[in-house]
Amino acid sequence: MFKLLLPTYILLLLSASSIASANDPAAYHVYLVEEAREKRLAHSTVWLKLLHYEPVGLAGKGLESAIHSPEFFIAPDGRHEPEAELTAMLAGMLEDVSADGPDQHPICRFPARAAWLTEQLEIPEEWIPVTRCPEFDDWSFNGTTDSISVVFATGYLGNPASYYGHTLLKLNSSLQQKQTSLLDVSVNYGAIVPDNENPLAYIVKGVTGGYDGGFSHIQYYFHTHNYGENELRDLWEYKLDLPQEAVDLIVAHAWEVLGRKYTYYFFRKNCAYRMAELLQVVEGVDIIPENRPFTMPQSLISKLGSADRVGAPLVNQIIYHPSRQSRLYSRFRALSDQQKARVRLVIDSEQDMSQWAGLLSHVEVDTLLDYYQYLIKSESGTVAEAKERYRQVLLYRYRMPPQRKAEVAAAKLSPDQSRRPSRVELSGIHSSSQGSGWGLALRPAYYDALDGDEAHVGNSALLMGELSLQVIDDNWKIDRFDLINIESANTQVTGLPGDGREAWMLRAGWVRPDLACTGCLSPRIEGAWGRALTPVESVDMTAMVGAALQDKRYGQALLDATVNMRGVARISDTATLLLERVVRMPFHGQGTTRREDKVVLRYMFERNADIRLRYRADQTTELSLGVGFYF
């Protein structure tokens, strides 16, 4: 067989040599197309990823690019035909530079495609008409990007699009030192939302694909300021261990997709999904969480943290970038009781800082600087006054002997080490009025007051789509279905003025009016606002008042006034206790005042598994013991 193929191979070599010597672009293009077909490059994994082709049609036999911007393709039918696009790209690569300049040449518009095809087909340099792409070279710092980081911003309950956190890419240039790495380029993906969009339309369109999405770029300091300073979100940087050729391919492909339009889907093909796609153009990188209808940033980070490539960990360094709030809390916790008292005294005093000359230590002054900057960024209290006090403390610090600021302690747990975001539980139940049975609960996302950790918003809960079923005496019923359940509490870690104690809750779904009602299910929307505090370390308490709008059936009032009191105690790293009482008083319509009590003890016996012992009382009592698994 080899003897039969050898003459053909020799003829091809002779043909390529004669074409090169004749300098015939048309003939050389034909030769390259035949070579590409022989190697099936148009159907290779890398080419399909570079063009973002996805299965469509019956049984997924067709292909269509996820990008619907016409300028992303050279061939008229390139969005659906990988081979037509490859053929057109090869022709474009051989074209002379037009009067529009090199930046409009296909090699400069699509540098990743050009580099990959050049390598696969071994195209000689003399056939490449473009030697420099000014716009791409400037953007990529002239090819000095030597590594890539995935940056994860923890969740932010002030914006529904940021509840689950956010991911972006950071292109680390060798030109930037540690002190100036904020000037590195960052690549971000998000929905393109019109200004002043209606909140309901925002949610509906985000879920159903009503928005275009796309990649944008900006210097990294913009994100550190927006996330870490304004929204008080911690940033976790995962630096990847990739060879230089893989880094160059990702950088070039990021340039290709900037400004191109996708269809944005909040749950699945979101920022985490598209960011992972950029990385997966490199062979051996597989980090998109599959086999689930949604892609959560934490799921991506979890898979990223455990991923290997060619037998070595994909991540070689994890860097913690604490928010302004986290820096303040970390420094304040590190103070002695005497130092904390002195910091409070300085804050409460209206004296000019000159009155404290020689009385404050470096760590106390550094804490004061963090405190006043936190007040400025969070707009707690009078911003103008906080700025003046910050100026005074800064002058005080300049007059002290030089000393490096103490490093902020890293969080105990990085997001990749957190438990998985979804949970299923099987439990045994005993009701004092209905007997014994079993229960099944499914929570697609995300965390509650008992299982939140450093990877989630502190002292909060974010549940979406949680369904709880019960089967007692062969009769099954829905106990509750939470379409959305958000709880947020700032427990004032420092106790300093302006470190707010706000707590709020928003919940919508279907619930049983009380535990004694066996065949009842009523829609309910409720919200509450109140205060939070930490009376002792590891114990958080909230008290809120609010209202609940519900179905009037089953003896309920249309509108209830509510009082909610809750305490959460972290007994150890593995055990947490919750006690809650809700009082419901009819505000509009018939009904009686009711009291709901709940006690839950959670024990985590493995990172992705726990046991929960529950006691509930509402017209009757119920005791359950469940085993839950996170996935």
Sorted by where each starts, the structural domains of the chain and their CATH numbers stand as 2-131 (no CATH), 145-321 (3.90.1720), 324-398 (no CATH), 418-630 (2.40.160.40)
Predicted local confidence at residue 191, as pLDDT: 94
The contacts of residue 59 (CB under 8 Å, 6+ apart) are none
Crossing angle of the two packed helices 362-378 and 337-348, in degrees rounded to 10:
50
Of 203, 35, 61, the residue nearest 120 (C-alpha): 35
> pTM to 2 decimals?
0.89
Tokens of 566: 């809750």
Predicted local confidence at residue 176, as pLDDT: 61
Q: Residue type for 311, please?
A: G
Predicted local confidence at residue 10, as pLDDT: 37
Cα–Cα distance measured from residue 485 to residue 463, given in angstroms and rounded to the nearest whole number: 5
Predicted local confidence at residue 381, as pLDDT: 63
Question: Cα 106 from chain centroid?
Answer: 34
Tokens of 597: 């009590």
Alpha helix (H) residue ranges in 280-361: 297-306, 324-334, 337-348
- Please list the ranges in the chain whose pLDDT falls under 50: 1-18, 20-22, 179
Of 456, 463, 391, 472, the residue nearest 423 (C-alpha): 463
The contacts of residue 100 (CB under 8 Å, 6+ apart) are none
Of 175, 169, 259, 173, the residue nearest 223 (C-alpha): 169
Q: Residue type for 64, please?
A: E
Q: Residue type for 432, please?
A: S
Which residue in this structure is represented by tokens 């944005």?
264
Residue 25: CB atoms within 10 Å: 16
SS3 category, 119: helix
Q: Residue type for 238, please?
A: Y
Of 305, 250, 260, 258, the residue nearest 283 (C-alpha): 250
Tokens of 324: 């302004």
Cα–Cα distance measured from residue 300 to residue 17, given in angstroms and rounded to the nearest whole number: 48
| Residues β-bridged to residue 509 | 482, 524
Predicted local confidence at residue 179, as pLDDT: 47
Say if residues 32 and 123 touch (Cβ distance below 8 Å). Answer: yes
